[in-house]
Amino acid sequence: MDTNHQLIKAGQYMLANQLAWGTSGNISARVDQERMYITASGTFLGELGLDDFAECLIESGATAGSKKPSKETPFHLGIYRNRPDVGVILHSSPFYTTLMACSNEPILSELFIETMYYLEHVAYVDYYHPGSQELADAIAEQAKRANVVIMRNHGVVVFDDNVKEALMRLETLEMGCRTIIQAKASGIPLKAIPKQVVRSFLEDSLYKPRKGYSK
CB 151 within 8 A of CB 135: yes
Instruction: Exactly one of 55, 59, 72, 203 is catalytic; name it.
Output: 72
Q: Reduced to 3 DSSP states, what percent helix, strand and coil does the chain have, rounded to the nearest 5?
A: 40, 20, 40
Side-chain-facing half-sphere of 158: CA atoms under 13 Å: 27
Q: Which DSSP string do the residues of 86-136 spell out, in sequence order? A: --EEEEE--HHHHHHHTS-----S-SSHHHHHHTSSEEEE----TT-HHHH
Length of the chain: 215
Active site residue 72: yes
How many CB atoms are located within 10 Å of the residue 71 CB? 13
Burial of 50 (0-12, 13-18, 19+ CB in 10 A): exposed
Q: Which DSSP string do the residues of 31-71 spell out, in sequence order? A: SSSSEEEEEBTT--GGG--TTSEEEEETTT--EESSPPBPT
Residues belonging to the active site: 72
